[in-house]
Amino acid sequence: MKSFRNKIPACLVHFLTGSGIIFSFLAVISVIENNKLQAFMFLGIALIIDIIDGTLARKYKTEINFPNIDGKTLDTIIDYINYIFIPCIMLYKFEYLPQCFTVVIPIVILCISLYSYVNSKLIDISFSFVGFPSIWNVVLLYLEILSFGQWTNLLIILSFIFLKFVPFKVFHPMRYNKFKKANIILLFGTLLTSLILLLNKLELELINDSHSYFIVLWLMLNSYFIVFVIYSNLHSFNDKNE
């Protein structure tokens, strides 16, 4: 009976992870219907699910309670669709890039991300990504908020493509124990300010009078994670040399 009770929350965690594919489908429909805000919202929900489901999976021991279901593979499939495939469709559909690059750049992103996903050394033993971790949904969200021109967007995306091949580490903020609580608070703070800025630009115009203050706050929150990546890399390097 106790074993059965343990399986219930573990089963719900697998359903939570799998629900990401529902929001993938809804995001694709939104792109087809030319509803940019809705597409971002569904990808945002999928992102939140992806942030929390790993912690829940470890807490409720999904690997032990459901040994025949590979939660990591399930998560990887959904991540590729939500982090890479749909953002590439959005790059094409919503004209973020100069016309001559609207097909080429998404194809490049799809291909290099595909092979990085099957690279067994993509994530090392410290649960950190090696190189840029293919969070193209986040990149696209930031391009939307910052409203750069098409050629600037192209240069930014090319920079991230280049960073795919640079062997620096990007530690998962939810799995870096030293700053885990601060990372969680600041991560959700970043998501909230991103949502407000996105809504303000595309739909509701909530913060026109204080837009610049929100941009500054948003940039500060994002700067923390840049500093976090730099610090964690230096800390990892020092540990190896001690």
* pLDDT value of position 209: 73
Query: Taking a C-beta distance cutoff of 8 angstroms, is the pair 169, 236 a contact?
Result: yes
Q: Average pLDDT for consecutive 10-residue bins of the chain (242 residues)?
A: 71 91 97 95 94 86 83 90 97 95 96 84 69 91 94 97 86 73 88 91 75 90 87 63 42
Q: What angle do CA 59, 62, 64 make, to 5 degrees?
A: 105
* pLDDT value of position 48: 93
* pLDDT value of position 67: 80
Q: Which residues of 109-146 are buried (b: 16+ CB within 10 A; e: fewer)?
A: bbebbeebeeeeebbeeeebbbbbbbbbbbbbbbbbbe
* pLDDT value of position 126: 60
* pLDDT value of position 3: 64
Q: Where do we find the tokens 């219930």?
A: 8
* pLDDT value of position 4: 63
Q: How far is the C-alpha of 84 from the C-alpha of 46, rounded, in Å?
A: 13
pTM: 0.87
